[in-house]
């Protein structure tokens, strides 16, 4: 029997504050029945201004992404890293993204196309459909009046020319220039720029001056002329390879006249260059610096610089330093750099680890496709991904839909189903003419992956999009019948 005082106290309290709610007994039920308690939710999108690259699975809304709209408010930098094994849809994402960006009048795109088949690059068909002739850099064709890019082009500043020459030599030598060789190169470059005025200076002029330096260069340092000649001998031998060696024809003459820098799409076809030779990073360095001084201008246009096989840049400390400066400079002038690579395991302990980390840090958007478990762990270390993200990367190619998960650092991901309109279909075929639906390239968008881009909430530093592979089944069937 309850104490009368307790009964009186409870009655008085109920009179003043209302009746105290009774304690409910726990209810046991199944997860299938309890799921009705939790209402369906979907992460917020990135706004409605930009290009659509897919549809969110949970909300059904179009997934819209545009680094130019997000830069400054939600993105610290407009640069983008696309990472994953071959065959997961990276190329489909790049081409769909570029084609849809070109529908805006204030967009320009440059592509370094390092892949291809049947003697042409992957982007050849897209360029032809848009009425654009790719700039094909081929040592054999260059000897027969093909395309040339001059590292000493007058449109490049004197400082830019010297930095580019140093990068070319350091890439070819595999180590940095010492002070004496650097001095010999500097005085030779200065003399050529002062004396060659009636035409474009070329690499042959630099090689000749290194072999036969002027007495004034020795007197300035109070050393013998033979010493200056000896200091520049190795530099002359490296540059001679570009002039009269296996790399001749592409850089040893004036820049080819007629390259249209005002075209909406500029494709540099590098498919004829051996991807395992030093010519590729040298070529990318020259193209990058040349574009920095001729293509990027303060004219309020938004420019996209897409580089296939970007590991040539990331893996070379000297080329990475050049591109790091380009990315910082171009960011203020509306440049978005898109780097496409297969894996980052070589970067973890490579010679260019410091420089590569700086470039990757500027890539505020990261799209990660399926990788092997060891590659996924390396990617997680380099990009600082949470453990849950590293665990699901190897599984991205096997399952169709995944529930969202909340990460310890407040990152989440929104599954999306990428698609493309029918007018993009023919342009996404590879050079051999095979249809992408048969290759399972993931439609016009991308394969399944993790797409990291920031949300609009200040307390959430980032959100990750888990992309579902391919288009909807009905669209896939229509593409196969077409």
C-alpha to C-alpha distance for 105 and 293, rounded to whole angstroms: 22
Q: Which of 115-129, 186-200, 441-455 has the lowest mean pLDDT?
A: 441-455
pLDDT bracket for residue 258 (50, 70, 90): confident
Q: What average pLDDT does the segment 444-472 reach?
A: 40
Q: pLDDT band at residue 238, thresholds of 50, 70 and 90?
A: confident
Render pLDDT for 188-224 as a digit per residue (tens, 0 to 9): 999 999 999 889 999 999 999 999 988 888 887 888 8
Burial class (CB in 10 A: 0-12, 13-18, 19+), 408: exposed
Give the pLDDT score at 284. 84
- Residue 462: CB atoms within 10 A of its CB come to 18
Q: What is the pLDDT of residues 347-383, one digit of tens each?
A: 666 666 777 788 888 888 888 888 888 888 888 888 8
CA distances to 115, 123, 159, 213, 429 from 91, rounded to whole Å, are: 10, 10, 36, 49, 10
Q: What's residue 207's pLDDT?
A: 92
Residue 398 has pLDDT above 60, yes or no: no
The tens digit of pLDDT for each residue in 265-321 reads: 999 888 888 777 777 888 888 888 888 888 888 888 899 999 988 878 777 788 888
pLDDT value, residue 109: 93
Can you give the pLDDT at residue 470? 35
Above pLDDT 90, what percent of the chain? 13
User: What's residue 349's pLDDT?
Assistant: 62
**pLDDT given for residue 8 in this prediction:** 82
Q: pLDDT band for 61, please (50, 70, 90 cuts).
A: confident
Q: Is the pLDDT of residue 467 over 50?
A: no
Task: Give the global pTM.
Answer: 0.72
Q: How confident is the model at residue 250 (pLDDT cuts 50, 70, 90)?
A: confident
Length of the chain: 482
User: Who has greater pLDDT, 80 or 8?
Assistant: 80
Q: Which residues are CB-neighbours of 328 under 8 A, at least 6 positions away?
A: 362
pLDDT at 474: 41
Query: Regarding beta strands 107-113 and 265-269, do their DSSP bridges make them parallel or antiparallel, or are they unpaired?
Result: parallel
Coil vs helix vs strand at 110: strand
What mean pLDDT, rounded, does the chain reach?
75
Among 19-28, 262-271, 276-285, 424-433, the range with the most confident prediction by mean pLDDT is: 262-271
Q: Pick from 160, 157, 135: which is nearest to 148 by CA? A: 135
pLDDT score recorded for residue 108: 92
pLDDT value for 230:
92
């Amino acid at each position: 029997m309850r104490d009368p005082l307790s009964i009186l106290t409870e009655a008085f309290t109920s009179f003043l504050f209302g009746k105290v709610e009774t304690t409910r007994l726990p209810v046991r039920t199944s997860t299938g029945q309890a799921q009705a308690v939790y209402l369906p939710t979907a992460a917020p999108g990135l706004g409605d201004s930009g290009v659509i690259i897919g549809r969110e699975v949970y909300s059904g809304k179009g997934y819209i992404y545009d680094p130019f709209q997000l830069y400054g408010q939600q993105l610290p930098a407009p640069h983008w890293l696309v990472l994953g094994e071959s065959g997961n849809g990276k190329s489909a994402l790049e081409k769909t993204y570029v084609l849809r960006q070109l529908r805006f009048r204030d967009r320009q795109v440059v592509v370094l196309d390092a892949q291809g088949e049947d003697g042409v690059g992957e982007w050849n068909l897209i360029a032809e459909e848009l009425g654009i002739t790719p700039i094909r850099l081929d040592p054999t064709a260059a000897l027969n009046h093909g395309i040339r890019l001059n590292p000493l082009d007058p449109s490049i500043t004197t400082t830019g020319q010297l930095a580019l020459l140093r990068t070319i030599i350091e890439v070819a030598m595999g180590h940095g220039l010492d002070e004496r060789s650097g001095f010999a190169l500097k005085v030779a470059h200065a003399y050529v720029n002062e004396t060659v005025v009636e035409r474009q200076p070329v690499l042959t002029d630099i090689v000749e001056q290194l072999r036969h330096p002027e007495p004034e260069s020795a007197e300035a340092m109070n050393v013998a002329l033979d010493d200056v000649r000896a200091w520049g001998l190795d530099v002359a031998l490296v540059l001679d390879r570009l002039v009269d060696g296996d790399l001749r024809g592409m850089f040893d003459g004036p820049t080819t006249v007629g390259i249209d820098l005002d075209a909406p799409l500029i494709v540099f076809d590098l498919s004829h260059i051996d991807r395992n030779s030093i010519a590729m990073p040298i070529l990318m360095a020259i193209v990058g610096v040349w574009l920095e001084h001729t293509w990027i201008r303060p004219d309020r246009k938004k420019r996209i610089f897409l580089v296939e096989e970007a590991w040539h840049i990331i893996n070379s400390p000297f080329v990475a330093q050049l591109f790091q400066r380009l990315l910082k400079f171009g960011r203020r002038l509306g440049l978005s750099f898109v780097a496409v690579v297969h894996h980052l395991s070589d970067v973890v302990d490579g010679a260019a680890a410091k420089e590569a980390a700086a470039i990757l840090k500027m890539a505020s958007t990261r799209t990660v496709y399926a990788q092997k478990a060891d590659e996924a762990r390396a990617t997680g270390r380099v990009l600082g991904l949470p453990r849950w993200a590293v665990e699901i990367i190897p599984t991205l190619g096997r399952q169709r839909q995944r529930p969202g998960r909340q990460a310890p650092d407040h990152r989440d991901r929104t599954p999306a189903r990428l698609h493309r309109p029918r007018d993009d279909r023919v342009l996404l075929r590879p050079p051999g003419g095979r249809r992408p639906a048969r290759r399972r390239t993931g439609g016009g968008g991308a394969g399944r992956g993790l797409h990291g881009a920031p949300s609009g909430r200040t307390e959430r530093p980032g959100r990750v999009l888990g992309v579902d592979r391919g288009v909807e089944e009905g669209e896939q069937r229509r593409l196969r019948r077409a």
